[in-house]
Structure 1
Amino acid sequence: MANSENSGGAREQKLLSALDGRPIVLVGLMGAGKTTIGRRLAGRLSIPFRDADHEIEAAANMTIAEIFEQHGEAHFRDGEKRVIARLMDEGTQVLATGGGAWMNDETRELVAERGISIWLKAEFDVLMARVRRRSHRPLLKDPDPEGVMRRLIDSRYPVYALADITVMSKAAPHEVIVDSVIEGLEEQLGLHV
């Protein structure tokens, strides 16, 4: 690990320079690794990591579950859109978005104008294995979590595919996926290693 970090300093600087102040926006379903991979990517690039869901909770002083329960999904989605718009103005960072954020046309347009989007795509089995490890996932409260996940894949994957870059988030060491993200960014930005 120390080798890749030491030899990667110039590579990361070249990538940051090419980003020219734009944020890297991670999209995908719950369990795709947006937070885990996002934190590691931000660490590798020495830039801030922001989690849109965490920012929404901080702004509302409520959990997402409480927002949904007290105000409904439409209210949550409106707040999510506003928070992401604010974060997009805060320069180069890695921004992990909630699974439904990318489904909003205005959010997609804003990210296309001001940032670079990366879809962390994961297969059904990988997603289910990951979300089962976390009891706070609302999906697990449904009597048929597998059915819910399959429906989300069917409805959201065609929209996630509109992201600038697609990286497979597979059952592999996190650093392998981070390397794939960096390679995808370099290709998107026209950098040749």
Structure 2
Amino acid sequence: MSPRVVLVGPPGAGKSTVAALLGEAWGVAVRDTDADVEALTGTAIADLFVERGEAHFRDLEAGAVARALAEHDGVLALGGGAVMRPETREALAGHPVVFLDVGLAEAASRVGLTTSRPLLLGNVRSQMKALLDERRPVYTEVAAHVVPTDGRTPDEVAQAVLSLID
């Protein structure tokens, strides 16, 4: 069993929104590893970061990704930082991975000042720039396809992904 497509990208790229549109278009289930971690722990991710730390969350996330890759045959959206773990990058090999790429200005405006994204607390634009600079090469490395999202509606992004994945 393997996901029909795996969406990766930074916060604000539209992974969850596009995943829902793809699931609807293909008539398949949608799974989000952030939601899996929250369901497993009964705790919001922002609270996990505060209460247990990022390392603990990343361990839970790596397990959630491995399970989802093995069990799920629909659309899979990964948390923005999931690809930073070497074991997750290895597990993604051979899967149809699409990187939803978003520029700094658009990502910052989409994410805003939300406290549900613990790595972006403080100066959102500066934190987002650092995050994008660090992660963009890794997203590109694991992806079979890159779909730019700037200036596009979620429907347009979903259509672009549909045209790449049969």
With normalisation by structure 2, the TM-score equals 0.92
> 2-side partners of 1:123 and 1:34: how far apart?
14
> 1-side partners of 2:120 and 2:52: how far apart?
21
> 1-side partners of 2:20 and 2:80: how far apart?
17
> 2-side partners of 1:122 and 1:102: how far apart?
16
Amino acid corresponding to residue 177 of structure 1 in structure 2: V
Q: Which consecutive unaligned segments of at least 5 residues does structure 1 have?
A: 1-20, 187-193
Q: Which consecutive unaligned segments of at least 5 residues does structure 2 have?
A: none
For the 8 Å contact 1:132–1:140, the answer to whether it is kept is: no
Distance 1:68 1:139, change over 3 A: closer
> 1-side partners of 2:32 and 2:111: how far apart?
17
> 1-side partners of 2:97 and 2:120: how far apart?
28
> 2-side partners of 1:136 and 1:116: how far apart?
28
Give per-residue Cα distances to partners, 1:78-112, cap 9 Å, x unaligned. 11011111111123211111110011111111121
> 2-side partners of 1:153 and 1:140: how far apart?
11
Alignment partner, residue 141 of structure 1: 121
Runs ≥4 in structure 1, deviation > 6 angstroms? none
Amino acid corresponding to residue 144 of structure 2 in structure 1: D
Indicate the SS of the match to 1:31. coil
The higher-RCO structure (CA 8 Å, 6+ apart) is 2
Alignment partner, residue 155 of structure 2: 175
Return the offset for 1:55: 0.7
Alignment partner, residue 62 of structure 1: 43
Alignment counterpart, residue 139 of structure 2, candidates 157, 160, 164: 160
For the pair shown, the structure with the greater C-alpha radius of gyration is: 1
Distance 1:75 1:139, change over 3 A: closer
Alignment partner, residue 4 of structure 1: none
For the 8 Å contact 2:113–2:124, the answer to whether it is kept is: no
> 1-side partners of 2:137 and 2:10: how far apart?
12
Larger deviation, residues 22-31 vs 133-142: 133-142
Larger deviation, residues 102-111 vs 129-138: 129-138
Return the offset for 1:153: 1.1
When the two chains are superposed, the root-mean-square deviation of aligned CA atoms in Å is 1.6
Return the offset for 1:134: 4.5
Distance 1:161 1:126, change over 3 A: same
With normalisation by structure 1, the TM-score equals 0.79
Alignment counterpart, residue 100 of structure 1, candidates 69, 76, 81: 81
Alignment partner, residue 81 of structure 1: 62
Indicate the SS of the match to 2:156. helix
Query: What is the total number of aligned residue pairs between the two structures?
Result: 164
> 1-side partners of 2:121 and 2:72: how far apart?
37
For the 8 Å contact 1:118–1:165, the answer to whether it is kept is: yes
> 2-side partners of 1:73 and 1:134: how far apart?
18
For the 8 Å contact 1:67–1:76, the answer to whether it is kept is: yes
